[in-house]
Structure 1
Amino acid sequence: MSDDLQDSLASQTPTGGSPTLDDLFRRIAARQPDAVALIDPPNKHRVTGRPPMRLTFKQADYAISSVATGFIEAGLPYGSIVAVQLPNTIEFAITVLGAIRAGMIVALLPQLWRQSDLTTALNRIGARAVVGIDRIELVDHAELVMNAAAEAFSIRHVFGFGHDLPEGMSPLEIVTDGPADFASFYPLEARKPVIVSFDVIADGFRAIPRNHVQLISGGLAVFLESEVPQGAQLLSAIIPSSFGGVAASLVTWLLSAGSLAFHHPSDLQVLKKQIEEDGNDTLIVPALLALRLADDGALSHPFPMQRVIGLWRTPDRIASSENWHGANATFTDIYLFGEIGLYGARRLSDGSPAPISPGPYGGSRNTVGEFVMTMKGTLALRGSMIPVAAYRPPSSSENILSEAAPPDYVDTGYAARLDKARGTISITAPPTGIVAVGGYRFLSQDLDEWARRLTPGAMLTALPDQLNGYRLAGRASDNRRAREALGELGLNPLMVEAFRDRTN
């Protein structure tokens, strides 16, 4: 485990008194055991080869305990880091909550990561186990996970869902009933780390641990601003492989004590059919997709959709986005500042984005965050969801400033301007040197470095894109060979497909 992650974990000492994610789930399961809790995507069989499931809270509670017992009986010590790379299905929710119940820390591995990214992340955090699935769409994820685990010296166990698992991968199953022969679970502490996500900042790749309090605070920022009611029927098309994704889907579901239906991104026709037929009242999607669905009339009557929660990986583009025209459904913009934190603002009555003001947010009686303008003209975040220690510069005897106590906020790097007359903040530009493509961030210098590994004259750059913020584009003397070379290096498809053939 790296020194910076160890320092971040050690800084989060338990104080007690706050609920954990497992506490939230257990309370709901005790109150309404037969209510529907989790619903698989209708096209799950095409995505994973497994039939879709629908679990009540009682069934989900049993499945969570079963997975937790499997981790404990495999010999994983309390506090072990379990890395997870799974699709947006019931398996993800049950595995994460099962690992948490067993006292483990869950590392979220993005779905597009391939062997190079996976190996780097697993070695960086010192993961003891990794959980995958036999396939997602046409990609053999079991092989990817096994190959990455072989290069991570800390990995002792590899688990997987599916029927065609390679040798050495221990099978996991969603078991919903049977003899309750479960292991004894340790009591959880709300201020102990519970997840690790990954971010790219000016200093490079970094692991970001968070505890229960920070996760619940992030979920509250979404829950309160969008006014999700108790018993809400949520439909999420967000892969929860980041803090923002988990807070907006999994945590918001637990806060609402309703049901959570999954959509595995992104089959637009399947999503529209789910909206039409499933009767969900709250939709959680990438913001630009939400605006597109509204323009297409997919959210108009007679569908019961009452609120839409749109996640922005490019918060600097919200102010210039088109107005919301989603029939009677309200729309809440969720500003995602990498893995640092998030902010929610419901659109005005005319559909335009709500202005941002400096100071606290999250409700007058439920402050969960605060905007701070730095002397550099950038926007910083402070509050209960912000993992300040994770972004603290590593200690160095050569840098006397690094030994000083850090401020209680984290600089997002987004350039911002304060309008003193109106008392509002305008986000004007993304962090310098960082490229955001969909939910993935790269250092500009890393793109140049990968291009240099190819043939002389090869180029890899980021171009503006209406849907993703940026897209990667590459040029080489032989694009086909460039794709093959990048694939062999184990890079993710965003880089590989940047060199696709554009002649047709």
Structure 2
Amino acid sequence: MQPKSVTHPNASPTLDVLFQRILARQPDALALVDPLDKQRITGQPPRRLTFAQADRAISALAAHFIEAGLPANSVIAVQLPNTVEFALTALAAHRAGLVVATLPLLWRQAELTVALNRTGARAVVTASRIDGVSHADIAMNAAAECFSIRHVCGFGDGLPEGMASLDNAIVAQSSTKRAVIQDGRKAALVSFDVISDGFRAVPRTHLSVIAGGLALSLESDVPQGATIMSAFTPCSFAGVASSLAMWLLTGGTLVLHHPFDGDVLEQQINDASCDTLVAPAQLALRLDEMDLSGRMPGLRNVMGLWRTPEQIASSASWKARTANLTDVYLFGEAGMFGARRSQDGSPAAIKPGPHGAPREQAGSAISGEILLTPRGTLGLRGPMVVVAAYAPPPPPSDSLIAAPPRDYVDTDYAARLNRAAGTIDVTAPPSGVMAVGGYRFLAQDLQEWAKRLGQGALLTALPDRLSGHRLAGRAPDNSRAREALSELGLNPLMVEAFRDRSNAA
């Protein structure tokens, strides 16, 4: 029996309401499919769940969170791989009236502690091991430094003492329930960003998350009942919107791939007859170079997510004729928009002002609005954009009259207006912020961590065509530097910057 849900008469739907609508129509339809190599990733066998099976697991997990004493509207932090457990946990948290905070997989104790304290999280969910790393131990150590944490739980075998097993919770099938108001205006997701002002927690409502998924699915013309292959980790707003939200909006099947194994990805796409692929743009273009149409003939829609949107204009043309490519411009956690490529495979022109989905629908504000700020940077408005999370601090003033609030988010990405074509060109990433794939750092933070290694140590970010930047480090003793950074609880990107390159040849 699932926790009782109460829907406000004037409320917009939540993610769980979308799931339950599909459940009522097609309970025996295939809902979630695990990566084929899940055994390697987490040590657990892959699973295939219908909507009815997923619903029972979601209700059992929601009951566990309620029985653990987590009050409604509290934050539950989730650090899980791209497997069915993430979708089940997120929907279970929402069914129990909780807010999900997504934690990137490369974060270790230092970043986790900051995020948990910043959000006042009451619980942590993780897996015993992910890609050979004991995330359960990392979560326990981080939770010990957070006064607000009251419950730590995980999936998998060999969980440390004191960590509750969610696999056992699913088997137990508890019927514990509580009334939860299902209203899309309630908080659903917290993701984390790094901007020039520092670390930010970015909360979003169900409505905002759904708006992100709707913008992507309509722009790329994903059909109802689609079989979506998601090869993008759900540790960010873009990751959740392009997988969980888009799956619930289309009512099809979500097939998951934990990045990356090219052979496994190709096999999954063909075996599951996937018609839609969501992946980092660089991977999508690489598949195109390897004859995507011939090797994966069933694909009809590809979404390439760009964490370096300034590189889209100079990217290679899309060659596949059996599948359309939609470039998704990501601006950290501030927001995103998609633009389907033209018939010749070149990137679509981006114009300022309101844009809909499909883009040809003039004047529509479904997706949002693109603007050029007075600073010469790109600004975003729209239902998925959380203005309050990025609001600048009030300027010092003796005036008793407050300055008018800003109704857009400044992404800090440099942009210019091409007056001849009437388009906006994104030209450079935010100054002082280094991006390594999906992980962003302040340049000054890298210098501070290097100082902890003593005199002669250097840690810097170098430009990289694929990931934006790559980290490089130098110390009198690289092996000792790696050990020191690991003990400080820093993520592997910083630790491996000091790898020994003497035997690289």
Task: Give the TM interval when normalised to the shorter protein.
Answer: over 0.9
Is 1:362 aligned with 2:356?
yes
Residue in structure 2 matched with residue 31 of structure 1 by the alignment: 25
Shift of 1:256: 0.7
Secondary structure of the 2:125 match is strand
TM-score with structure 2 length normalisation?
A: 0.94
Q: Work out the CA distance in 2 between the residues paired with 1:306 and 1:225.
A: 13
Q: Displacement of 1:379 after TM fit?
A: 0.6
- 1:56 maps to 50
Aligned residues: 491
CA deviation after TM superposition for structure 1 residue 397, in Å: 6.8
Contact 1:59 1:177 in 2 (8 A): no
Cα gap change, 1:195/1:503 in structure 2, threshold over 3 Å: closer, same or farther? same
Query: Which residue of structure 2 aligns with residue 150 of structure 1?
Result: 144
Q: Which amino acid aligns with 2:430?
A: P
Residue 130 of structure 1 and its aligned partner are, at CA, apart by 0.6
Which residue of 2 is the match for residue 6 of structure 1? none
Tell me the alpha carbon deviations over residues 263-314 of structure 1, each in whole angstroms, 9 at most, x when there is no partner: 0111222112222332111011000000001111244256301111110001
Deviation at 1:357, TM superposition (A): 0.1
SS in 2 for 1:187: strand
Contact 1:42 1:52 in 2 (8 A): yes
Change in CA separation of 1:302 and 1:197 when aligned onto 2, cut-off 3 Å: closer
- Name the CA distance, whole Å, in 2 between partners of 1:401 and 1:196: 34
Equivalences for residues 93-132 of structure 1 within 5 A = 93-132=87-126
Change (3 A) 1:25 1:104: same
Structure 1 contact 232–257 (Cα < 8 Å) conserved: yes
Contact preservation (8 Å) 2:99, 2:189: yes
Q: What's 1:22 paired with?
A: 16
CA contact (8 A) 1:455 1:477 kept: no
Match of 2:209? Answer: 215
- Name the structure 1 match of 2:134: 140
Cα 1:61/1:225, change in 2 over 3 Å: same
| Contact 1:275–1:303 (CA under 8 A) maintained in structure 2 | no
Distance 1:78 1:180 in 2: 18
Q: Aligned to 1:78, what secondary structure does the other structure show?
A: coil
Give the CA deviation at 1:476.
Answer: 1.2
1:78 alignment counterpart: 72
Amino acid aligned to 2:191: S
The answer to whether residue 175 in structure 2 is matched with residue 187 in structure 1 is: no
**1:396-435: per-residue Cα shift (whole Å, max 9, x none)?**
8779799533211000001111012211011111111111
Verify the 8 A CA contact 1:101 1:185 in the aligned structure 2. no
Match of residue 239 from structure 1: 233
Q: What runs of 5+ residues in structure 2 fail to find an aligned partner?
A: 1-7
Q: Tell me by how many angstroms 1:395 deviates.
A: 5.6
- Tell me, in whole angstroms, the C-alpha distance in 1 between the residues paired with 2:43 and 2:10: 43
Q: CA deviation at 1:460?
A: 1.1
Structure 1, residues 15-58: CA drift from partner, whole Å, max 9, x if none? 94311111111100100111000000011011101110000011
Aligned AA (1:478): D
Specify the SS of the correspondent of 1:428. Answer: strand
* Contact residue 220 and residue 362 of structure 1 kept, 8 A: no
CA contact (8 A) 2:39 2:45 kept: yes
Question: Aligned letter for 1:378?
Answer: T
Percent of matched pairs sharing the same residue: 60
**Corresponding residue number in structure 1 for 2:5:** none
Alignment of 1:192-341 (within 5 A): 192-300=186-294, 303-341=297-335
* Paired amino acid for 2:242: A
CA shift, 1:475, in A, is 1.2
Amino acid at match of 1:170: A
Distance, in Å, in 2 between the alignment partners of 1:73 and 1:362 is 43
State the SS of the aligned residue for 2:180.
coil
Which residue is 2:83 aligned to? 89
Whether 1:497 and 2:496 are equivalent positions in the alignment is yes
* Secondary structure at the counterpart of residue 384 of structure 2: coil
Between 1:277-286 and 1:181-190, the stretch displaced more is 181-190
Aligned to 1:440: 439
Aligned partner of 1:478 in structure 2 is: 477
Instruction: Give 3-state SS (helix, strand or coil) of 1:87's partner.
Output: coil
Deviation at 1:63, TM superposition (A): 1.0
Please list every run of at least 4 consecutive aligned residues from structure 1 whose deviation after the TM superposition is greater than 6 angstroms.
Answer: 174-180, 396-402
Query: Does the residue aligned with 1:300 lie in a helix, a strand or coil?
Result: helix
Partner of 1:8: none
Q: Which SS does the other structure have where 1:120 is aligned?
A: helix
Q: Secondary structure at the match of 1:288?
A: helix
CA contact (8 A) 2:56 2:173 kept: no
Give the match's secondary structure for 2:72: coil
Separation (CA, whole Å) in 2 of partners of 1:141 and 1:100: 23
Quote how far apart the aligned CAs of 1:76 are: 0.6
1:167 aligns with 2:166: no
**Could you tell me which residue of structure 2 aligns to residue 386 of structure 1?**
385
Contact 2:238 2:333 in 1 (8 A): yes
Q: Does residue 65 of the first structure (1) align with residue 59 of the second (2)? A: yes
Separation of aligned partners in 1, 2:172 and 2:159: 24
